[in-house]
Structure 1
Amino acid sequence: MDEDGIHTLRARARAIFDAGVAAADPGRAVAGWLARGELAPPGPGGRAVVIAVGKAALRMAEAAQATLGPVETLVVTNYENAVPHPGMTVLAAGHPVPDANGAAAAQEVLARLSRAGEANHVLALVSGGGSALLPAPADDISLADKAEVNRLLLASGAGIEEMNLVRQNLSRLKGGGFVRAASPARVTALILSDVVGDDLRVIASGPTVAPIGGRDAARAALRARGLWDRLPDAVQRHLSAPEPEATPMPAARNVLVGSNALSVAAMVAAGAVAHPHPLVGDVADAAAEVLEAALALQPGQALAFGGETTVTLRGHGLGGRNQELALRVALAAAGRGLSGNWAFLAGGSDGRDGPTEAAGGLVDAGTAGRIAAAGLDPAALLADNDSNRALAAAGDLVITGATGTNVADLAVFVRAGT
């Protein structure tokens, strides 16, 4: 095997991935929109209030302050991205599983919104991760109940739309709850999408837009996943109660300022061609799709993917959807005898894949052999959802640290030239 050639391919894959992450810079996205002068000023005697929520919250808030000047600003973000900042209140909370700090942060958000008068203008800066970071359980549900529902959904392989449909029906902030709490203040939301297709109802569980569906839809989704009988009793009772009386949704302006598709476009500008559609659904199916596309690549070509897959947990190992996707592609390529040198990187744009410090995996034609040389059985590790251990043994984990943004997942396959 040409080790120098493999190193070059891996470096190219990483450079293309990094270009996609850079294109999702949340500060640039917010500053660019605000520079257009479309944000209406507060009414007479009113003030502007900035509330930023999500993995990209801090950078979005920094850009807002740089443009608007000193303004009341509350930031709620994950622990990895939370650092003190002059002129802001920065709160850190748990992700992907909600915790007590998140519940306290949600109470602070609700308190500030309740103080917003009719003349005030609330600028909501929304990014992926906001759903778990702001748990505001309905009055008859505990934080422990919500955390257990979150855990069950994550382990079931449920897609983000299913997960957020359920979350919205258990929350006071999600599914438009933010706007209702702010009323009568005006709300403008700048949104960085981590959702394939950019459905604003799904991003961070849609705090500033109408909900995906009601309790009937949430019950149906949970039953279809076989989760209903495993839910806490309080959650079953809440979702089985009659729908609350419908009231008109207060108006809000929602603006999409960044997305997965824009990052894929940046990867194309960095020398790749775009796969015709996002990678979604079960990670095993996505790996098969990647391999089929790779087999059709011409020598020297790179193929860029966006999307977000799901993993159904059947084992007890450690990993995430991107690490498992990378490992599956490596093993499938070895099994199919993909000729020549190649490299494949799959990573989360936020720098974190599952409950690990890795963003994802960067594999090549030698990955399976390196895992075996370490005395491990890669197929057995995959069956145990232990992709992190397998990739660590191969030296194939991608560690970026927290990137400060979140536009779902990015991947790139590179084939060697002739």
Structure 2
Amino acid sequence: MDKRRAEALRIFEAGVKAADPYAAVAGALDDVDPPALIVAVGKAARLMAQAALARFSGVTCLVVTNYENAAPLEGATVMAAGHPVPDANGAAAAKAVIAALHAAEGPVLALISGGGSALLPAPAGALTLADKAKVNEMLLGSGLDIVAMNLIRQQLSDLKGGGFLRHAAPRPVTALILSDVIGDDLSAIASGPTVGPIGTAQEAILLLKEAQLWAAVPQAVRQHLETVQEPVALPAARNKLVGSNAKSVAAMKEAAGAAHLIAEPIIGDVADAARLICDRAVIGTTVWGGETTVVLQGSGRGGRNQELALRIAVEAERRGWVAWTCLQGGSDGRDGPTDAAGGLVDQDTLGKITGLDARLANNDSYAALDEAGDLLLTDATGTNVADLGVMIRSG
């Protein structure tokens, strides 16, 4: 690995380390009352729970996380579930969490991280898991941002949008939250199980119509959204943010030394984001964070980070750059339904790819980057604070 690639990877790893779930929770427990129940959900759930159990031993603890991050944890029941598309194991885990909330004999400590929305599918009303999985699959390729997707998901769930609090009541709930949402809207992280809903059923209908999905979602979903009653007021909860994308980007800037920071989060369509990044990248090192979107037009494999990395390579070549390296990756170590975290590209990437235009049109960024040998392959990191990027440019 050449020097620029090694340096980009080192800076990225500093950002991931800043989102360490164990340290984030351990540093936030001093003013938390001993709980009777700990529920940890999300991609960072296992490490968050481990930190809580180091402080509060002998407490009933349920952990729900994705398959890559699931491993036994002393003192806890660990349940693995599907992400990003919900599955039957997630539905079973949701039932177990609801039962534990009803059985708790005192305060509840919730440990929440990104991915929790898909990992705890508790269909509302007469909806089925298949209904929810179908909607979730459609949302992932819709181009809607994470807040809009979570608004819709909340309206289809018995746990999201504050549903966790209703099942816990009258037991007090404290939630420590690791944010994967740009802007750190607590109601959007994991679809806000301990926070009020982002919006209403009518707003969910409007978003589905604007995304041209309304006619395609299952009939049961349309019926539910058109007839559901607005929920009563939520019980109070104490919600505390313990980690975020902004904190990780700041850590990358510090690790890089004299790096230029793109201050605003990189969001929106990947093609627009690639142009913005190249507009802002300076000679030297540039870092950023965010979470882009992809409107799926084809049947290829990939994810938003892989496609953004590939489009940055296209944009850099168009501008005549001759000496640069860019890393674009998911802080969780996984990008879309693949084993890659993103892409690590440079001035030589495009020359190693055949049929580039067709692959971009087919959203087949994984195959393109794999051919170039430029996939960013990491283990699952055990955390999730959205996406991180580094550009090192000398010409």
Q: Normalising by the residue count of structure 2, what TM-score does the alignment of the two structures yield?
A: 0.98
What amino acid does structure 1 have at the position aligned with 2:245? N
Match of 1:346 in 2: 328
Match of 2:17 in 1: 22
Distance 1:274 1:180 in 2: 42
2:300 aligned with 1:314, yes or no? no
Match of 2:262 in 1: 275
2:291 aligned with 1:305, yes or no? no
Q: Residue 346 of structure 2: which of 364, 381, 388 is its match?
A: 364
Match of 2:40 in 1: 52
Q: Residue 87 of structure 1: which of 66, 72, 75 is its match?
A: 75
Is the CA contact (8 Å cut-off) linking 1:9 and 1:416 kept in structure 2? no
1:240-270 CA deviation, whole Å, 9 max, x = no partner?
A: 11533x4221010000000000000000111
Distance 2:5 2:239 in 1: 39
Match of 1:44 in 2: none
Match of 1:9 in 2: 4
Is the CA contact (8 Å cut-off) linking 2:326 and 2:389 kept in structure 1? yes
Distance 1:136 1:124 in 2: 17
Stretch of structure 1 that moved more, 265-274 or 17-26: 265-274
Q: Residue 245 of structure 2: which of 210, 235, 260 is its match?
A: 260
1:193-244 CA deviation, whole Å, 9 max, x = no partner?
A: 0000000000000000000011111001100100000010100000011533
Distance 1:191 1:352 in 2: 20
Distance 2:20 2:5 in 1: 23
SS in 1 for 2:27: helix
Distance 1:313 1:87 in 2: 42
Match of 2:99 in 1: 111
Distance 1:370 1:222 in 2: 39
Q: Residue 148 of structure 1: which of 121, 134, 159 is its match?
A: 134
Distance 2:327 2:361 in 1: 21
Distance 2:84 2:16 in 1: 20
1:23-44 CA deviation, whole Å, 9 max, x = no partner?
A: 000000000111xx21124xxx
1:7-36 CA deviation, whole Å, 9 max, x = no partner?
A: 1111111111110001000000000111xx
Match of 1:409 in 2: 387
Is the CA contact (8 Å cut-off) linking 1:137 and 1:172 kept in structure 2? yes
SS in 2 for 1:270: helix
Distance 2:78 2:125 in 1: 26
Match of 1:194 in 2: 180
Q: Residue 278 of structure 2: which of 281, 284, 291 is its match?
A: 291
Match of 1:62 in 2: 50
Deviation at 1:335, TM superposition (A): 1.7
1:340-361 CA deviation, whole Å, 9 max, x = no partner?
A: 4110000000000001000000
In structure 1, stretches of 5+ residues that fail to align are 1-5, 42-46
Distance 1:181 1:48 in 2: 15
Aligned length: 393
Cα RMSD of the aligned pairs, angstroms, is 1.1
Q: Which stretches of structure 1, 4 residues or more, deviate above 2 A after TM superposition?
A: none
SS in 2 for 1:40: coil
Deviation at 1:415, TM superposition (A): 1.0
Distance 2:89 2:293 in 1: 27
Is the CA contact (8 Å cut-off) linking 2:125 and 2:224 kept in structure 1? no
Distance 2:300 2:128 in 1: 29
What amino acid does structure 2 have at the position aligned with 1:262? K
In structure 2, stretches of 5+ residues that fail to align are none
Match of 1:40 in 2: 33
1:128-176 CA deviation, whole Å, 9 max, x = no partner?
A: 0000000000131010000000011111111111111011001100000
Distance 2:352 2:214 in 1: 42
What amino acid does structure 1 have at the position aligned with 2:360? L
Distance 1:127 1:134 in 2: 12
Distance 2:296 2:362 in 1: 8
SS in 1 for 2:3: helix
Is the CA contact (8 Å cut-off) linking 1:214 and 1:243 kept in structure 2? no
What amino acid does structure 2 have at the position aligned with 1:398? L
Q: Normalising by the residue count of structure 1, what TM-score does the alignment of the two structures yield?
A: 0.92
What amino acid does structure 1 have at the position aligned with 2:14? A
SS in 1 for 2:328: strand
Distance 1:173 1:200 in 2: 15
SS in 2 for 1:305: strand
Match of 1:169 in 2: 155
